[in-house]
Amino acid sequence: MDGADRGRHRDRDDTEEPAYCGHCGEPLVGRGGDPQDHAPCVRRLELEPPRYCPDCRRRMVVQVTPRGWTASCSRHGVTTG
């Protein structure tokens, strides 16, 4: 599983594609429908938790522990990794 897909919202359907980058919060698809280049973000998400909700672009509350991390969106719940 790559960094963009790492972690799951508890109430998220596995078939839904994220609309926003979990690292920078920018749309994954540009205005013309062309995919944006988020390769640097994907590499960073392999090492650290997402900072933005991939569904609504809200900033998440992130807690890092020695055993993993949790990222909480006020609208979409908790993601763990």
- For 14-59, what is each residue's pLDDT tens digit? 557 788 999 999 998 877 676 778 889 999 999 999 999 999 999 9
Distance CA 49, CA 68 (A): 9
At residue 4 the predicted structure's pLDDT band, cuts being 50, 70 and 90, is: very low
Selection from 31, 81, 79 nearest residue 53 by Cα: 79
Does 37 or 7 have the greater pLDDT score? 37
User: What backbone phi and psi angles, to 5 degrees, belong to 3?
Assistant: -60, -30
Calculate mean pLDDT across residues 55-80: 94
